A and B are shown apart, each in its own frame.
Chain A
């Protein structure tokens, strides 16, 4: 359910992986590479991870979520390597008996991912490349 991969991400596969007959709700979040960032036109992004720690922190997020909401399954897939504009960098899917748990847990997962999962992106544009940090 937790992966750091160089392969393209599939929302459809994520949804089918978390689906259960007992669930009335499936929430997904997809992060995509944006063409403009901080006023600059982006050519592409390079994502890098500390994979072993990233997976450990994703497990921690699952535990935090299970302490707060009743969910069935959660999946987090993060892509690394070279990504073009419009490609998905992260996919989160949550299944739960009811919509409120699924939606809130999914929103919590992406916020926590940004805080504690060690993944970095380098924006490459016509005037150079920059590592993007928290709060930027």
Chain B
């Protein structure tokens, strides 16, 4: 099955592109997809603990199973914080 991955901010800088189309085996989870990126991009793995993931624009756990045509968002911590 094919899924569309969208990467933003620091995650996009590390991977070098904002949108990637990936072919995955049936039954793959969000976590499996992230492992694909982590093995290729160690810098992304270094920020794994702070990354949020979204499936079809809704925040999703890494155990969620992906379906053909899903859109996965790789979301570093969003902007702002204590000072704003």
Contact = CB atoms under 8 A, between A and B. Distances in A.
Interface in A105-136: 113-122, 131-136
A132 to B, nearest CB: 6
A3 interface: no
Given A118-B8, A118-B73, A132 B81 contact: yes
B77 interface: yes
Given A120-B78, A134-B80, A53 B54 contact: yes
B40 interface: no
B57 A52 contact: yes
A69 interface: no
A113 B80 CA distance: 9
Question: In the complex, which of the residues A50, A113, A136 has the most CB atoms of chain B within 10 Å of its own CB atom?
Answer: A50
A50 B8 contact: yes
B80 A132 contact: yes
A1 interface: no
B84 A50 contact: no
A56 B57 contact: yes
Nearest to B79: A121
B81 A120 contact: no
Interface string B42-69: 0000000010001001110000000000
- What band does the interface of chain A fall in when counting residues whose beta carbon is under 8 Å from B? 20 to 34
A133 B76 contact: yes
A38 to B, nearest CB: 8
Given A117-B78, A120-B78, A133-B78, A31 B73 contact: no
Contact of B78 (A31, A34, A56, A119): A119
A118 B76 CA distance: 9
8 contacts: A53-B54, A53-B57, A56-B57, A120-B8, A131-B10, A131-B13, A133-B81, A135-B77
Interface of B: 6, 8-10, 13, 50, 54, 57-59, 73, 75-84
